[in-house]
A and B are shown apart, each in its own frame.
Chain A
Amino acid sequence: MTLETRKPNGEIVTGSVRLIHSAGMHARPAVKLTKLAKKFQAQISIRAADANEWINAKSVSKIMALRAARDSIIEIEASGEDAAAAVAALIDLIAADFPDGGQ
């Protein structure tokens, strides 16, 4: 799991985390991820590592269509005021295997 600020002025924050969920990124994790992403003002994009396209983390239909398999690396990129908190929170969610409740 990594978390770094790519630009010195803090414009873009990136992170990556291994998807440990047994079934990969299916419907229920997708809903949890989207709901959490929406709590932040930052623009947040994610992709399965090495995929060409970045996906808006706040779009539940796009996240559900991500089809990331178990053990794939998920990359997260965010920009905006609370970008660092957003990336950290999403990494926590994925690393903790999408626990129920909380958030």
Chain B
Amino acid sequence: MNDTVGIVIVSHSRDIAKGTADMVRQMVGSEVKVAFCGGDPDGGLGTNVPLIIEAIDKAWSPKGVAILVDLGGAETNSEMAVEMLQPERRNLVVVCNAPIVEGAVMAATEAAGGSSLEQVRAVAEELSAD
């Protein structure tokens, strides 16, 4: 099987992150690796850098990983998580500027066709282009 770009979903709410991942799996299928994280370790709302790194590892693909985030902290913590990756992985992970649910479904659809990380990101970001 060809490698496809992996998808990571980072929300302040674990339920939203999980629900988004479920939508991706059901709508796009299982050929794209999807990982998610959400909430702080105490079960409240928030995002957490170690959990994001763990999700990136789970979704890892030689073609790279596209991260979809919800609000503010999810983006900054995701960027921090990327910074903390091994240097050779850093350039293979992008945080997409896209709505979390629509972006995840569209990014995964594009990834399923074997597209590059840049193509996957571009498709997700089409949604915020206007």
Using CB atoms and an 8 Å cutoff, list the residues of chain A in contact with chain B.
27-28, 31, 34-35, 38-39, 58-61, 64
Contact = CB atoms under 8 A, between A and B. Distances in A.
A61 B28 CA distance: 14
Contact of B123 (A27, A39, A61): A61
A44 to B, nearest CB: 13
B48 interface: no
B109 A60 contact: yes
Contacts of A58: 113
Interface string B32-72: 00000000000000000000000000000000000000000
A31 B113 contact: no
Contacts of B29: 35
B112 A61 contact: no
Interface in B74-111: 102, 105-106, 109-110
Contact of A31 (B27, B114, B126, B127): B27
Nearest to A60: B109
A27 B105 contact: yes
Contacts of B28: 31, 35
Contact of B112 (A27, A35, A64): A35
A20 to B, nearest CB: 20
Contacts of A28: 27
Given A28-B27, A31-B28, A39 B105 contact: no
Given A35-B113, A38-B113, A61 B27 contact: no
B109 A35 contact: yes
Nearest to B108: A31
Nearest to B26: A28
Given A38-B113, A39-B113, 5 more contacts: A27-B105, A31-B27, A31-B109, A61-B106, A61-B126
